[in-house]
Amino acid sequence: MTKAKLSLDGKDYEFPVLVGSEDEVGIDFTTLRKTTGAISLDPGYGNTGSCTSTITFINGEKGILQYRGYPIEEVAASASFEEVCFLLIYGHLPSVDELATFHDKLIHHSMIHEAMKDFFQDFPPTAHPMMVLSAMVASLSAYYTRGAVDEDVDLNIIRLLAKVKTIAAFSYKKSIGQPFIYPRNDLSYTKDFLHMMFAVPSEPYLPSDVRDRAHNLLLILHADHEQNCSTSTVRMVGSSQSNLFASVSSGVSALWGPLHGGANQKVIEMLEQIRDDGGDYEKYVRMAKDPDSPFRLMGFGHRVYKNFDPRATILKEAAADVLAELGTTDPLLEIAKNLERIALEDPYFVDRKLYPNVDFYSGILYRAMGIPTEMFTVMFALGRLPGWIAQWKEGREDPKAKISRPRQIYLGATQRPFVPLEERAAKKATKAEEPELVPA
Ligand code: ACO
């Protein structure tokens, strides 16, 4: 298969076909407008490949997810988040020395400029931590200005990875009115974040192995997901040659929405609502199916996965294991499992291939780790950071890359003469004096 044919207005056109390394097929429409005068219309981009990439592969029909060719199940079972960051950004698994150097760089760039601490104080107490994160990531470009030119890009990648965990933890401390806790150079990336979240000046905090493993797993499972909404945003902003911090800041904003990463917070709020409502799952499934109700089962459905989301499968098991190891229970886990069971037996969900996604069970784990609900999407952002960086870098290094600039089909008014304000006002005044038309 090398060509695709298109007939338009009685004329035939041929377009090249590109086959990916996992046999996915794309029709190359780069010359479509030039040759036919038409564009392809695909709102929501469900059928549109915006780029070629070598980072992450997903087969939504079969529930497959691979980072640089490695199956997510194998990566999640034995890698550290730092290894995954390296793999995604630099394209290969790090050697022992490479990983040690990478770790060393990360710990030596984890502090933020002292002056940035003052920024946190000026946000109102109502500020959502995702808003704070987005603003602070963009603000990094004020301190590391040379990131717009390539010579500092490598260093800025390290700075961003290292500093976002500090910013995320500081935004939490600010929201609860506690003093900021500085990063520690003797801790792993995951442990350091939890230390900055939960230590206080009078009492250190070191996460148990169970919590640390859960955190590592969550970050890895969120690390990349090819051209999703926030990643496409990062690549799109990067395509105009905006710097790394500005590009990733816009990705944070895109992730915040409830249809994307913000769903993890909404899932827990939904499960709490069901619990407070006496646990009537059927009522919520009915509401989700009702075309007149805007309610959706949060954490269900995915643009790409039409079988199961492999991340959700891993997280469901992990949630049960972690709660058992911690010796606690969470009634929300039972509600989630029951809701999943009922929904998956229902023809509405079966016909539409709606399955639990990564956000459905992640909140249960975050709760077990003591993370407050408002921070869930920040946790997602922390995990997604290496993916955003890798994808931004890939876009910037592509010699064929162009500024992202989609087209549209215009359905508005056709050309008409502009009426100046005075004329419009005069017309209105004359109209007011006209006798009102009385219907016959
Ligand atoms: N609950 C009830 N019905 C749903 C749900 C849901 N969660 N998701 C989709 N549907 C229905 C739609 O109403 C639509 O029904 P119709 O064909 O009768 O009109 C059909 O399933 C297809 O849904 P679309 O919205 O067209 O699917 P799309 O691929 O555009 O959206 C999305 C995917 C946004 C994830 C959607 O499933 C959703 O809103 N889910 C809830 C929010 C959520 O969990 N988001 C997190 C996604 S994972 C991530 O971003 C990390």
Tens-place pLDDT, residues 340-352 = 999 899 999 999 9
Strand order in the sheet with 64-67: 56-59, 64-67, 70-71
Taking the C-alpha atoms of residue 45 and residue 163, their distance in angstroms, rounded to an integer, is 33
Atom 34, ligand 1: residue with shortest CA distance: 259
The identity of residue 9, as a single letter, is: D
Please compute the mean of the pLDDT values over residues 104-131 and round it to a whole number: 93
Residue with tokens 């961003």: 160
Question: Which atom of ligand 1 is found nearest the CA of 229?
Answer: 50
Residue 261 in contact with ligand 1 by CB distance below 6 A: yes
Whether residue 45 is predicted with pLDDT greater than 90 in this model: the reply is yes
Check if the beta carbon of residue 154 is closer than 8 Å to that of residue 361.
no
Whether residue 429 is predicted with pLDDT greater than 60 in this model: the reply is yes
pLDDT value of residue 146: 63
pLDDT value of residue 374: 92
Highest mean pLDDT among 69-73, 301-305, 335-339: 69-73
Residue 31 vs residue 368, higher pLDDT: 31
Taking the mean position of all CA atoms in its chain, how far away is CA 241?
21
User: Which residue among the candidates 302, 321, 330, 398 is catalytic per the annotation?
Assistant: 302
What share of the chain has pLDDT > 90, as a percent? 85
pLDDT value of residue 96: 98
Burial of 6 (0-12, 13-18, 19+ CB in 10 A): middle
Taking the C-alpha atoms of residue 219 and residue 228, their distance in angstroms, rounded to an integer, is 17
Coil, strand or helix at 17: strand
The identity of residue 34, as a single letter, is: K
Taking the C-alpha atoms of residue 130 and residue 171, their distance in angstroms, rounded to an integer, is 9
Q: Which helix (H) or strand (E) holds 26?
A: strand 25-27
Q: Which helix (H) or strand (E) holds 313?
A: helix 310-326
Distance 309 CA to ligand 1 centre (A): 14
Q: Does pTM surpass 0.95?
A: no
At 308-342, the pLDDT tens digits run 899 999 999 999 999 999 898 899 999 999 999 99
Check if the beta carbon of residue 226 is closer than 8 Å to that of residue 55.
yes
Residue 359 in contact with ligand 1 by CB distance below 6 A: yes
Whether residue 54 is predicted with pLDDT greater than 80 in this model: the reply is yes
Whether residue 434 is predicted with pLDDT greater than 80 in this model: the reply is no
Q: Within 10 Å of residue 282's Cβ, how many Cβ atoms?
A: 10
* Contacts of residue 88, Cβ cutoff 8 Å, sequence gap at least 6: 55, 56, 67, 68, 223, 224, 386, 387, 389, 390
pLDDT value of residue 217: 97
pLDDT value of residue 392: 98
Residue 212 in contact with ligand 1 by CB distance below 6 A: no
Which among 83, 81, 84, 88 has a CA at the least distance from the CA of 101?
83
pLDDT value of residue 38: 98
pLDDT value of residue 328: 87
Burial of 224 (0-12, 13-18, 19+ CB in 10 A): buried
Coil, strand or helix at 173: helix
pLDDT value of residue 274: 93
Which domains are seen in the chain, by residue range? 3-59 (2.20.28), 70-262+378-397 (1.10.580.10), 277-368 (1.10.230.10)
User: To the nearest whole number, what is the mean pLDDT of the chain?
Assistant: 93
At 196-221, the pLDDT tens digits run 999 999 999 999 999 999 999 999 99
Check if the beta carbon of residue 260 is closer than 8 Å to that of residue 306.
no
pLDDT value of residue 430: 75
Residue 117 in contact with ligand 1 by CB distance below 6 A: no
Residue with tokens 């309610």: 295
Taking the C-alpha atoms of residue 28 and residue 13, their distance in angstroms, rounded to an integer, is 12
Check if the beta carbon of residue 219 is closer than 8 Å to that of residue 383.
yes
Residue 353 in contact with ligand 1 by CB distance below 6 A: no
Distance 301 CA to ligand 1 centre (A): 5
150 catalytic per annotation: no
Taking the mean position of all CA atoms in its chain, how far away is CA 130?
12
Check if the beta carbon of residue 12 is closer than 8 Å to that of residue 6.
yes
Whether residue 117 is predicted with pLDDT greater than 90 in this model: the reply is yes
201-215, 327-341, 354-368, 425-439: which range is least confident on average?
A: 425-439
pLDDT value of residue 281: 86
225 catalytic per annotation: no
Distance 20 CA to ligand 1 centre (A): 27
Atom 21, ligand 1: residue with shortest CA distance: 352
Token couple for 414: 């056709």
Please compute the mean of the pLDDT values over residues 20-44 and round it to a whole number: 97
Residue 85 in contact with ligand 1 by CB distance below 6 A: no
* Contacts of residue 129, Cβ cutoff 8 Å, sequence gap at least 6: 168, 171, 172, 175, 374, 375, 377, 378
Distance 302 CA to ligand 1 centre (A): 6
pLDDT value of residue 136: 97
Check if the beta carbon of residue 382 is closer than 8 Å to that of residue 219.
yes
Whether residue 416 is predicted with pLDDT greater than 90 in this model: the reply is yes
At 121-168, the pLDDT tens digits run 889 888 999 999 999 999 999 998 764 555 588 999 999 999 999 999
Residue 433 vs residue 307, higher pLDDT: 307
Residue 297 in contact with ligand 1 by CB distance below 6 A: yes
* Contacts of residue 9, Cβ cutoff 8 Å, sequence gap at least 6: none
Which among 368, 309, 300 has a CA at the least distance from the CA of 340?
300
